[in-house]
Amino acid sequence: MHAVRQWLDQARSVAVLTGAGVSAESGVPTFRDANGLWKQYRVQDLATPSAFARDPKLVWDWYNWRRSVLAEVKPNPGHYALADLEKRIPKFTLITQNVDGLHELAGSRNVLRLHGSIWEVRCLACGHQAVDLRISFPEIPPKCHCGGLLRPAVVWFGEPLPSDIWKAAETAARSSDLFLVIGTSAVVYPAAGLVQLAKSSGARVVEINVAQTPLTGDIDQFLQGPSGELLPQLIA
C-alpha cells in the first residue's frame, strides 16, 4: 500500500473504473441478485430491449423494485474517499459501470456513467431524457409528456455504450498516470478494455477488490479487501 500512496502523491492524472463491488458494500444487490419474485427471471427477461418490447410492465416493475432498494442506501466510505481524492488530483476522472448514482451522492463531480443512470428515463417516441426520482409512477409503464413510452435510461444487454461517454473514458484512460480498478470483475467488455488501454499508454494500474480477477496478473499492484476499507487508508 505504501507504493500506491506514493504513486497517488506523484500522479497528476488519475482515472478510476468502478464496478458493482463498490456499491455492494452499501447494501446494493449486485446485478444478478434479487429477492422473492425476481428469482424466477433471467437477466435476459428483464434487461434487454426485446424484454422491454415484450413486456414493458414487467421490466418497469423490476426497475421500480431496484429504485426502492437504492432509495434506502447511502454512499459508503469508499465512495466518499474517491470524492475526496478528486479534490486532490489536478486531473481526475471517475468511470463507473454502476447506475445507482451513489458516486454523485458522495460528492464526485467528474463522473462518466458507462451504463447510464437508473434515475433517468428516456422516451422511445421523442427521445427526451430527464432525471426522474420517483419510485412510484402514476401508471406502469410510465408515459412521456408526448404520450410515448418511457424506459429506464440505462444500457441494456445488446445495446452499445453511449459513444460520447465511451470516447471520454478512453481519453481519460489513455492520459492517466495512475489507473485504479475498483470492485469490478473485469470480465465485462468493453469497460474492462480500459485497463489495458491505460497500461499500454504508460499508466500504473492498481486493482482493489475482495478477490483476484482475470486482470490481477497483468497489473502493477493488487490490494485485496473491501474498497470501503482500503480507499480511506490510501488517501489518509
Which CA distances in Å does 234 have to 60, 78, 168, 177? 40, 10, 26, 17
2, 79, 103, 115: the catalytic one is: 115
128 is catalytic: no
Q: Around 159, how many Cα atoms within 13 Å sit in the side-chain half-sphere?
A: 18
Bridge partners for 130 per DSSP: 121
Q: Which amino acid is at 132?
A: D
Which CA distances in Å does 12 have to 15, 88, 109, 179, 204? 10, 9, 17, 11, 12
DSSP classification of residue 99: -
Give just the sign of the alpha carbon dihedral 57, 61, 64, 70: negative
Closest CA to 38 of 57, 60, 62, 56: 62
Question: Maximum distance among all alpha carbons in the chain?
Answer: 57
Whole-number CA gyration radius for the chain: 18
Q: Which residues are catalytic?
A: 115
